[in-house]
Every structure is written in structure tokens, then in C-alpha cells.
Amino acid sequence: MRSWKEAENAGKNVGFDLIMSMDLATASVVSGPWYERLRMGKYTHAINHSIVSAVDAIGMAPKGLKEVHHMLVEVAKSLIKGGEVGVFTPMHLLLFRKPETAQ
């Protein structure tokens, strides 16, 4: 995955004019950081884990559900860390304009 700066430079390098470059995930002062919605409390995590383990144990869930659940929890933790330190954003908008005349 390329960084937004690399994507911005790639657009400029092929001759496009950069109109706007903005991280829409951090633009809202109302909703707070995007990664907060991924955060689970201790009790929520414990309940979620218990339910997944139970339906897996009695065979109600497809095989491998526990492993997928564990992977998704780890991905969420990584996305939260990436958002907190500013190395990942899910919504960086780059708006380019094709020049009227080719260079």
C-alpha cells in the first residue's frame, strides 16, 4: 500500500494538477478519531470472545470462526495503533485535475 504522499507525488509526476489533499477521517471535529469506533472495552471483548467460542464449540459456526475472530481482533488493534500514531488513514482524499493542455 502506498502512502498518501507517494500517491500525491505520482499524480503530480504524470502531469496532473493537485486540487485538494485532505484526510477526511480527521476532518470531522464532531465524530472524533475514526479508530475509536474500532476500540473494544475489556468486557465487550470478553463477551464477544465467549460467544464466538461457544458457537464454535457446539458446531453452530463454520469451521475456523475462532481463528478469523482472533485475526480480526488483532487487525483492529493494529489499525487503532496506526491511527493513533498517524501512519494509517482509511480516507485520504486526493483530488487532481487533468491540465487543459498536455505538456
For every residue of the chain, DSSP letters joined together read ---HHHHHHHHHHTTPEEEEEEEHHHH-SSS--GGGGG---HHHHHHHHHHHHHHHHTT-S-TTHHHHHHHHHHHHHHHHHHHHHTS--S-EEEEEE--SS--
Tell me what pLDDT residue 100 has.
87
Count of positions (residues) in the chain: 103
Tell me what pLDDT residue 36 has.
87
Cell of 14: 504524470
What are the backbone dihedrals phi and psi of residue 77, each rounded to the nearest 5 degrees, phi first?
-60, -40
pLDDT tens-digit series, residues 40-72: 888 998 899 999 999 999 999 998 999 999 999
**Eight-class DSSP state of 38:** G
Indicate the domain borders of the chain.
4-97
Tell me what pLDDT residue 81 has.
94
Q: Give the chain's largest Cα–Cα span.
A: 66
